[in-house]
Structure 1
């Protein structure tokens, strides 16, 4: 049953042209909420063939949410803002030269969006956050939202630090006239998602999935968040903010409700791609300096995304699991299980063609990496000989 408050205004979704935004719109409509949505995103809407919704209820504005003129045009009469837009987790923005821009969008842009929401009397604000606001490379076992934020110097990258700062500000601004909620996702995946599933597909295609990187002898465990469950959680968070007796100004961990082994979970997909799961083991202490090297060359020199970031390495070799009991209790969140089989089924068909079609040009192939390594050691040898 949809609260009648939905009829009092439209929804605004920042960064909604991609995978998560599409899953949100699909979840809204699936659950009977046909409120008009205005999507603000500088990128055009991606034509997902695995996510279905009625586009007659969606208006796309190919604009940046940081611009006042854009907010002044979309926020009047809006009832809810779903803030999904952020940068720095993947792509070139991990480079140090872009840190100011990451901060400007993730923190200053969010603060300005909040101020504008208050100005135009938007009633509700739902933020797409991340477990990165608490994960700093140390083991976490079924942690709750009571866990305090790390110190600034502990964060693994600028993305994690800025997401935490934005989340703290959003929670601090929550009040009866402007209710906010933050949802902390962990590894949002699904068919056609470009950050998790397709990155694995590309890594398998480039033969980078041949070894297990382990800090200890046992394979680490974590949780993951399917796009479908994330969309459902965003919808439920909005519904909860409409009810007077429900809490607000809180953060919630959101995932599939299952623990997974961080390598074994991808075995069916790897086999569907015609490859064998990794059997060789490589100790963390050997890989860590390699990741530092590759990240430096990719980010600072080539200005492209490395095959694996420091955050991705640490979250892979460290057990990190999160409790969703608060989301179940406060939001009525009941995940529909994992959706790994849908990922396998999607990429199993026409495997070779799909690997090539989805292989992003921003990633490096095997020959590129060899060239980078040769160049690096050649440079080091020159510097050494000059002394």
Structure 2
């Protein structure tokens, strides 16, 4: 079962389950919308689509009958000036708790959770962060989303070793995904392209360009879930652990990384790099003003201070433990990932 399997990462997981996972006999997708294979891979194994939410325990209990492994990808991301905190908590935390209950009722063997590197990002740079030296901050950089994802991750890891209804033990694991790019991307590169489109073809650069970012091709993130499932099947000692799973995409400034994807649409980066501190302070002041006015009128700003801060921090992570313990090795090279992505972003509808 792949929750959120009709979405961005979920589709790539389903594709690899179909083509590179001989241990899998049948695939189920649970999502708010009907699964539709937009990647064009061959469906070699039976696949069924269940329309429903992780907030509905009755749907989950029925959908998980006979399931061995759950890849929990479904979640709610809400950014902007006024994020949907309640919605994120209901889906990310309570929905995950429901899914764990349904797994225990149906004797599911393995539960692999899609977390995010955002659960360790505060206001300081992270260089080559790993599972031993990188802990959640006292204050998350982003409001709402990282906190709910971290709470859900804690629920998942705490559930490791819990007896199921028939007395077997549920094994759990969490994979902390980086920001992803590639076919189906609804956020990262796509937002950059839309910003450029809305600014007469120019994406404005903020910062001096020295901050290093670490995006990951979505297909390699998807592959990490299949590696985790296979290893967890034969090694219960891996249960209850979390892993960072970056690939071999070169670490570079986020604007430098976006440049070829802009160019393929006929867009460009601004020749001027606006000072980070000046832009950041202006946005902080603007946020104070619109929040003061929010009882009367809600105004959504075109950019957030924390997003500008994010792209001006160096944030890099190590996949060493995932490679050693899960046998994770990216199956798409940086060049192949780039070419696949260029083709997608060139023709996608903005």
Shorter chain as denominator, the TM-score bin is 0.7 to 0.9
> Could you say which residue in structure 1 is the equivalent of 2:253?
261
The structural deviation recorded for 1:245 is 6.2
Q: In structure 2, do the counterparts of structure 1 residues 220 and 184 end up closer, same or farther at CA, with 3 Å as the change threshold?
A: same
> Could you say which residue in structure 2 is the equivalent of 1:240?
231
1:174 aligns to what SS in structure 2?
coil
The structural deviation recorded for 1:56 is 5.7
Match of 1:211 among 201, 204, 207: 204
Alignment of 1:173-212 (within 5 A): 173-175=159-161, 177-207=169-199, 209-212=202-205
Structure 2: unaligned runs, 5 residues or longer: 163-168
Match of 2:217 among 226, 238, 258: 226
Structure 1: unaligned runs, 5 residues or longer: 1-11, 360-387
Match of 1:150 among 137, 142, 153: 137
Check if 1:252 corresponds to 2:250: no
The structural deviation recorded for 1:290 is 4.8
Q: 2:141, 2:306 within 8 Å by CA — same for their partners in 1?
A: no
The structural deviation recorded for 1:105 is 1.4
Instruction: Please tell me the root mean square deviation across aligned C-alpha atoms, in Å.
Output: 2.6
1:109 aligns to what SS in structure 2?
helix
Match of 1:79 among 68, 77, 88: 68
1:32 aligns to what SS in structure 2?
coil
1:199 aligns to what SS in structure 2?
helix
Alignment of 1:368-387 (within 5 A): none
**More displaced 10-residue stretch of structure 1: 124-133 or 257-266:** 257-266
Alignment of 1:1-387 (within 5 A): 12-33=1-22, 34-48=24-38, 50-54=39-43, 57-90=46-79, 95=82, 98-146=84-132, 147-151=134-138, 153-175=139-161, 177-207=169-199, 209-214=202-207, 217-244=208-235, 247-257=238-248, 258-292=250-284, 293=286, 307-335=302-330, 336-338=332-334, 339-348=337-346, 354=348, 358-359=349-350
1:342 aligns to what SS in structure 2?
helix
**More displaced 10-residue stretch of structure 1: 280-289 or 130-139:** 280-289
The structural deviation recorded for 1:111 is 1.4
> Could you say which residue in structure 2 is the equivalent of 1:3?
none
- Aligned-partner Cα distance in 1 for 2:264–2:184: 15
Query: Which structure: greater helix fraction?
Result: 1
The structural deviation recorded for 1:76 is 2.1
2:34 aligns to what SS in structure 1?
coil
**More displaced 10-residue stretch of structure 1: 127-136 or 189-198:** 189-198
Q: In structure 2, do the counterparts of structure 1 residues 81 and 310 end up closer, same or farther at CA, with 3 Å as the change threshold?
A: farther
Q: In structure 2, do the counterparts of structure 1 residues 124 and 231 end up closer, same or farther at CA, with 3 Å as the change threshold?
A: same
- Aligned-partner Cα distance in 1 for 2:302–2:222: 27
Q: In structure 2, do the counterparts of structure 1 residues 310 and 166 end up closer, same or farther at CA, with 3 Å as the change threshold?
A: farther
The structural deviation recorded for 1:156 is 2.3
When normalised by structure 1's length, the TM-score is 0.78
Q: In structure 2, do the counterparts of structure 1 residues 277 and 295 end up closer, same or farther at CA, with 3 Å as the change threshold?
A: farther
When normalised by structure 2's length, the TM-score is 0.86
